[in-house]
Amino acid sequence: MNFKKWLENFTIGTDNVNSQIDGLYDKAKYAIKLVQLYVRSSPANKELLKNISTIAPLNSSVYGLYNSAENKALIQNDIRFKFDKNLIKNNDIQKLPYEVIKKHIPDIDEKQIRPTDVIRVNVQKIVRELGDSPNTIIEIASTIVHEATHEMEYRNTGQTNEIGPKKAEEEFKNWVSKNWKMISSQIPQVNFISTNKASS
Residue-by-residue DSSP string for the chain: --HHHHHHHHSSGGGG-EE--GGG-TTHHHHHHHHHHHHHH-GGGTTTTTTEEEEEE--SSSSEEE-GGG--EEESS--GGGS-HHHHHHTGGGG--HHHHHHH-TT--GGGEEE-EEEEE-HHHHHHHH-SSHHHHHHHHHHHHHHHHHHHHHHHHS---SHHHHHHHHHHHHHHHHTHHHHHHHSGGGS---SSPPP-
CA-CA distance, 71 to 90, in Å (whole number)? Answer: 14
CA–CA separation, 41 vs 38, rounded Å? 5
pTM of the predicted protein model: 0.73
Q: What is the pLDDT of residue 128?
A: 95
pLDDT at 43: 82
CA 48 to chain centre: 6
pLDDT of residue 161: 92
Alpha carbons 198 and 97: distance in angstroms, whole number: 39
Between CA 157 and CA 100, with CA 9 as vertex, the angle to 5 degrees is 15
Query: What is the structure's pLDDT at 99?
Result: 64
Strands 52-57 and 18-19: parallel
Residues 6+ apart with CB under 8 A from 46: 12, 39
pLDDT at 96: 62
**pLDDT tens by residue, the chain, 200 residues:** 443 443 344 434 455 677 889 989 999 999 999 999 999 998 888 888 887 888 888 888 888 888 776 766 554 444 544 555 555 454 555 556 666 666 766 766 665 555 568 889 999 999 999 999 999 999 999 999 999 999 888 878 878 999 999 999 999 999 999 999 999 999 999 887 654 444 33
